[in-house]
Structure 1
């Protein structure tokens, strides 16, 4: 711990010209691996992971409640989306019936299973919401095309979308269920913010932004798919981030319709990831490798809302910060995290062995 703090202080003073950020690790009371993370506000956050684990805090991380669905100990909840302290949607991953969706409207006191995959060829990786009602879930290719599941009632009902608007997948191409951010929207942050202080109201607002993106790897190149109509039709473009059997883009984050970040690498070789961070300024039509990349595998990336061009990337070997919208990255921590999310200027990270932290 002392060496890690010394490392962060030294690097921060030299590389940033400002005080270095640091993580305050919190006691969650669990040893589950927490790849799912939903930052709602300075006080409210949710995390999910192995063993059917779902955690919730409403006091800034000082205490955590285990609120997972009963009878779910065999499931891996790799993604969770939350709108406030009461309403959340959690996705379990896996082949066939292991891919499920649960919804709670009372802070995890009770859950309703609203989707169970019955196609043995499908494997759902991520879920994202455009607003409190409209959401999408992404499956690896079925019959040569990625599959999209959609809801228009906050996750209570889901329907598989037609595939005529989906480009063909590459041989071996798939998405990574590493941090719940292989599928993202512009509306995700605003949807969560709209829930702050909303009590138990479900909200009835229509989606203000219909843009969504998902990222891939596994094939001969990593790619980013984009929809401008809420997931009905998709375009696709290649990215410069290297791809391979265990490599590609693991996480996306979009600040608005045009400015986005992508990070990744090879999870089987986490200490070497050349060219594994890229930026876009045209909504994902073109991508440029960062001038200074983290240089190691990163599974999560998030913009810090209200802080201009600041964003954070995390992985099992450390955390990095950019102050120039992803053009250059600087290491500030060597601890292990899988996911990072920010809301209202407050950033949270989660990972292995029940690790959850808040950014100081």
Structure 2
């Protein structure tokens, strides 16, 4: 949108999640982690040496992550954030590209999205850890503005643009991001007046499984979530409960744990405006949304499910991080630091990124005297 785009280490983190030592393995520890929440852990900042705002984040594992942001910057770490390699695409800084989303398959292959009107919207791809980049797509339509990109597997990916001719526009690839094509819009519902996506965290378009994808909207009279079960060819739309009726309000991020259970976070991104209904949840693939009984206290721009506890998830925003341990019904504060986006991996690696070069990884808090 124009306004904004299991090893030993994992086992150690899981121990840090519970309020008391786990007395069981596997499911027992997972259940206890879900009940206790993310107590005993917090964000450990990782110095990047940059001042870019990183709204794009792709967590590969506890050791490997990519971030993308303002000034055409892309960084990559392979040692848990101790060191970062600047792998920015050549010329991206000179052109002032805003890299608001990045999707990584591993430590070497990644796809980054630059946002903006017309040719400013581009998709770049690397296969060698960022040593070289190939421009896979440059938007030829001045009416289009691409906000987010997501991949369902190593071959199939989608990107979404704000409405063109009254409908959201969808790009698709089936070769890992090397080539992209605009999908027909016959199966896309009409956009509402003023409706668009938010390029705030790279999470306005998310997938689960090989074919299902969800699209978040704002700016219109109602905040909505669109769902496709056929890789973007046809869509079903549902109203969300988040604040709407203003260009600064809506659903900013989605997170689906599986094909049925999802979270929506957002609100009003203006610092002087309240966001009393900043989160909602769905248990039916996004057909309907229920307001959180105790939502985060302010606007949130990113969300991610924690891998070890099926009901635990994180939400981040400029005023802090919140955690839910009951699948989005209630949220409580975890941290007061500013972040824009969050991502978790199967081995327990949770990362967050945001303004002024801030990147952090979720780690057990150090105990006094240790």
Distance 1:108 1:281 in 2: 38
Q: Which residue of 2 aligns with 1:229?
A: 230
- TM-score, scaled to structure 2: 0.86
The answer on 1:68 being equivalent to 2:88 is: yes
Q: Which residue of 2 aligns with 1:356?
A: 359
Shift of 1:44: 0.6
Q: Which runs of 5+ in 2 are unaligned?
A: 1-18, 21-34, 364-370
After superposition, the C-alpha distances for 1:251-292 in whole angstroms (9 at most, x for unaligned) are 000000100000001111466211110000000000000111
Distance 2:171 2:68 in 1: 21
Q: Which residue of 2 aligns with 1:104?
A: 126
Mapped contact 2:38–2:323 kept (Cα < 8 A)? no
Counterparts in 2 of 1:1-360, with a 5 A limit? 19-73=39-93, 74-187=96-209, 209-243=210-244, 244-269=246-271, 272-344=274-346, 345-360=348-363
Distance 1:270 1:322 in 2: 25
Distance 1:179 1:240 in 2: 20
Q: Which runs of 5+ in 1 are unaligned?
A: 1-11, 188-208
Distance 2:307 2:273 in 1: 29
CA 1:138–1:289: 2 relative to 1, 3 Å: same
The total of aligned residue pairs comes to 327
Distance 2:133 2:192 in 1: 37
Mapped contact 1:148–1:161 kept (Cα < 8 A)? yes
Mapped contact 1:261–1:326 kept (Cα < 8 A)? yes
Distance 1:281 1:270 in 2: 32
After superposition, the C-alpha distances for 1:34-62 in whole angstroms (9 at most, x for unaligned) are 00000111111000000110000011111
Shift of 1:110: 0.3
| Structure 1, 270-279 or 350-359: larger mean CA deviation | 270-279
Shift of 1:177: 0.2
Shift of 1:19: 2.6
Distance 2:41 2:298 in 1: 19
- TM-score, scaled to structure 1: 0.89
Mapped contact 2:37–2:312 kept (Cα < 8 A)? no
Distance 1:270 1:90 in 2: 32
Distance 2:55 2:138 in 1: 20
C-alpha RMSD over aligned residues:
1.5
Mapped contact 1:270–1:297 kept (Cα < 8 A)? no
Mapped contact 1:338–1:352 kept (Cα < 8 A)? yes
Distance 1:72 1:346 in 2: 29
Shift of 1:305: 1.5
Mapped contact 1:20–1:332 kept (Cα < 8 A)? no
